[in-house]
Amino acid sequence: MLIESPPADLTDPCRPRRGLGAHRLFLVVAALAAALRVVTMLGYRPAQLYWYDSFSYLDVASHVRPSLGFHPSGYPLLLWLLRPFHSVALVAAVQHAMGLGVGVMIYAVLRRRSLPAWGASLAAGPVLFDASFLRLEHSVLSDTMFVFLVVAALTIALWSPRPPARACAAAAALLALATLTRTIALPILLLLLVHLAVRRAGARRLVASALAGALPLVAYAGWNAQVNGRFGLGGGDGVVLWARTMTFADCAVIRPPRAEARLCPNGARQDAASEYVWDARASLNLLPGGRDRYNDLARSFAVRAIMAQPFDYLADVARDTALTFAWTPVRHPARVTPAFGFARGRWPLPDLPLVRKVREEYDPGVRALAPVEPYAGFLVAYQYPAYLRGPLIAAILLLGGAGALFRRRRASLPWAAAMVLLVGPVAVLDFDHRYVLPVIPVACLAAALGAADGASVARRRWPIPPPRGRDLTQG
């Protein structure tokens, strides 16, 4: 006979919860992360400003134009939108909100892809609680906006197994905006197109993504050509790549033509490749007219050096990338303070024309960063345990890489993006602890998806037998 099922027990802990109840754990996590950001705003006022980068961004935001520097003007456009408020403290507040948004997106996409609340919350934990992210969000730098755009693009791309064409186009457009913030996102845009092609997403999705990704970049390059006379996204790519080669270049092997021979190492010595960009004794900086005039020549020399000494180049890239995985942060270059940046004291701003100009045009309240107790003291103590150590980053990357090999391969796109973000900056310039931070949320996303796929494979191969019980259909 037929046995009717008993009515659902609404108190049954095994019954799936709906609404906010299913996300109770993450709501607590997000509230704690928001409290940490409030403490940061209270502890260091108004915001962290770095010479020269922060003031360059603020200056471009006051007079919107394509930047002649190493990065396009995507971040200054955000600063321009906030300029009517004349407050760098508001800029920091918006970036703290972006940091929270990154954690929410990681959690949301993982829950969407059937991960449990605790697993999705754990994957969002580093970006929400690592003190390095708190400090980065509190700085007038492009990194937080860059991370937000990349994670937003991946969230859209991974939201469903077969996203519609408009979602693919939105993801590509966000990666184009990320490229206009930091050009290292361009390979991730290409990865998205390759991912769609390999997954046989269809011509409509592929074309929509290609157009949505290309149009903003072409438009910006055209704007740059109109204003600065250069069709491109930036003006310093050749200079930074030349600096990368100064750690290994041997002109006896390279045999450059006479024009490029002027860029050969001249005896100047630095402990990090990026330092050659600023070293007044380095060969490029000794040429008349300044290094910016020789960007194309520097690029030509650098490509020739890499082609002539590929193994030396790869060895230097591998050595510097490996600094990511040290347990104690390495000083690289030696003049910087790695990772642990919250401190007591005052950091006066230089009395220079650009600083005065930013005060006049962007925020009259721009001043030296000042710690406020007891909030600053809490953050100084908090940052040492709340720091994702290098071996843990390595483990997260390995877990994501393993997940990329599973049958479903949901981790393949975020893991490949994480590897681009890890190796790309080192390959074109140098290692920097700042450049590692965008890797972490993307790698956590890949690792969580990989772990879920691995668990799914394990359940199929070694299924857990159902518990023994009385068969209600008999008797």
Has residue 8 got a pLDDT over 50? Answer: no
Half-sphere exposure of 235 (CA within 13 A, CB side): 15
Tell me the pLDDT of the chain averaged across its residues: 90
Give the C-alpha distances (Å, rounded to integers) separating 427 from 121, 172, 420, 424. 33, 24, 10, 5
Half-sphere exposure of 321 (CA within 13 A, CB side): 19
Has residue 339 got a pLDDT over 70? Answer: no
**What length does the chain have?**
475
Residues 6 or more apart whose CB falls under 8 angstroms from that of 239 comprise 70, 277, 284, 291, 292, 294, 295, 298
**What per-residue confidence (pLDDT) applies to 70?**
77
Query: DSSP class of residue 139?
Result: B
Are the CB atoms for 175 and 188 separated by under 8 Å? yes
Helix axes 439-461, 412-428, angle to 10 degrees: 150
Please tell me whether residue 77 adopts helix, strand or coil conformation.
Answer: helix
pLDDT in tens, 235-273: 788 999 999 999 999 999 999 999 999 999 998 999 999
224-254 b/e with 16+ CB inside 10 Å = b? beeeeeeebbbbbbbbbbbbbbbbbbebeeb
**What per-residue confidence (pLDDT) applies to 24?**
94
**What per-residue confidence (pLDDT) applies to 475?**
41
Residues 6 or more apart whose CB falls under 8 angstroms from that of 341 comprise 132, 135, 383
**What per-residue confidence (pLDDT) applies to 468?**
63
Give the distance from CA 96 to its chain's centroid.
Answer: 15
| Alpha helices per DSSP H over 322-410 | 353-361, 375-382, 390-403
Q: Averaged over 310-322, what is the pLDDT?
A: 97
**What per-residue confidence (pLDDT) applies to 410?**
86
Its pTM surpasses 0.85: yes
Residues 6 or more apart whose CB falls under 8 angstroms from that of 203 comprise none
d(CA 59, CA 354): 8
**What per-residue confidence (pLDDT) applies to 173?**
98
**What per-residue confidence (pLDDT) applies to 366?**
92
pLDDT in tens, 131-176: 999 999 999 999 999 999 999 999 999 999 889 999 999 999 999 9
Point out the least confidently predicted range of 16-20, 116-120, 392-396: 16-20
| Alpha helices per DSSP H over 199-266 | 203-228, 237-245, 251-254, 258-261
The structure tokens listed for 342 are: 């919250």
The model's confidence at residue 88, banded by pLDDT at 50, 70 and 90, is very high
**What per-residue confidence (pLDDT) applies to 118?**
95
Has residue 15 got a pLDDT over 50? Answer: no
Which value, to the nearest 10 degrees, does the dihedral of the CA atoms of residues 213, 160, 395, 453 take?
A: -140
270: nearest Cα among 320, 329, 325: 320
DSSP codes of every residue in 174-204: HHHHHHTT-GGGHHHHHHHHHHHHHTT--HH
**What per-residue confidence (pLDDT) applies to 5?**
42
Helices and strands, number each (H, E), in the chain = 22, 2
Point out the least confidently predicted range of 76-90, 308-322, 328-342, 424-438: 328-342
**What per-residue confidence (pLDDT) applies to 279?**
92
Query: DSSP class of residue 271?
Result: S
Has residue 79 got a pLDDT over 50? Answer: yes
Are the CB atoms for 44 and 372 separated by under 8 Å? yes
Element of type H or E holding 370: strand 370-371
Are the CB atoms for 51 and 350 separated by under 8 Å? yes
β 370-371/44-45 pair status? antiparallel
Residue with the bigger pLDDT between 196 and 339: it is: 196
**What per-residue confidence (pLDDT) applies to 94?**
98
